Homo-oligomer: A and B are copies of this chain.
Amino acid sequence: MARTTGSDGEKTEAAVREAAVSLIARLGYEAMSMRQLAAEVGVQAAALYRYFPTKEDLLFTLMREHMEGLLEAWEAARPASVDPVDRLTAYVENHIAFHIGRRHATHVSNMELRSLSHERLTQILKMRTAYEKELRTILRDGAEVGVFQVDDTGLTAMALIQMMTGVIVWFRPGERLSIVEVTASYLSMTMRLVGATISHGTARPSGRARDAVAL
């Protein structure tokens, strides 16, 4: 046999990407064979090579597009406000929404970095660093203005990102907690962690003692 009735390159490629993200997330990149992936799509292994020249090209494409999507999502969500609290709130909400929505792809991007060539690894890490830098900037601005109490901006940024990204490890949609509840909790924990002060609430700052965000 050869070309099958109803076959369509665009649809096949999309199916390959989707199946690859799911399979790599579940089995790991090394453990997933091209034949397994092909079977999931309903095609022979050779057909995959029409869309991706090598297995690593496939992995890299998935990772690059995921990171691009993350950066684009933040560009779109970034508020006009200069208030560090507003910006941190937007960052946390965007991060959690994006990662919960793309659990499998996030898993792949975080766990399979070692399977990339040196050059491609550098490319992905550059994007990741740019994304993390956004958070560091927010924390630094907030600390300078005095609205955050942070002793080390870099360390705090890493701790927050690890904490937030970790949500994909245990969170399952439709279980005990809703996305809204989880986001609210993480936002509350984040604000406490950075020692955010209530800058425009009902509480009046009195002397040296500042109240932590209550939430």
* A positions within 8 Å CB-CB of B: 26-28, 30-31, 111, 114-115, 151-152, 155-156, 158-163, 165-167, 169-170, 177, 182, 185-186, 188-189, 192-195, 209, 211-212
Contacts and interface: CB of A to CB of B under 8 A. Distances in A.
A155 B169 contact: no
A28 B166 contact: no
A172 B209 CA distance: 36
A182 B155 contact: yes
Chain A, interface SS category: helix
Contact of A27 (B114, B160, B163, B167): B114
Contact of A211 (B26, B177, B209): B209
A165 B28 CA distance: 21
A185 B155 contact: yes
Contacts of A27: 114
Contacts of A188: 151
Contacts of A186: 159
Given A155-B182, A192-B193, A26 B169 contact: no
A160 B163 CA distance: 7
A108 to B, nearest CB: 13
Contact of A185 (B152, B167, B170): B152
Given A166-B163, A211-B209, A28 B158 contact: no
B212 A195 contact: yes
A1 to B, nearest CB: 33
A195 B211 CA distance: 11
A170 B151 contact: no
Given A26-B114, A212-B212, A177 B152 contact: yes
Given A166-B163, A189-B193, A212-B195, A28 B26 contact: no
A156 to B, nearest CB: 7
A43 to B, nearest CB: 24
A192 B166 contact: no
A88 B152 CA distance: 22
Contact of A170 (B31, B115, B158, B170): B158
A115 B26 CA distance: 10
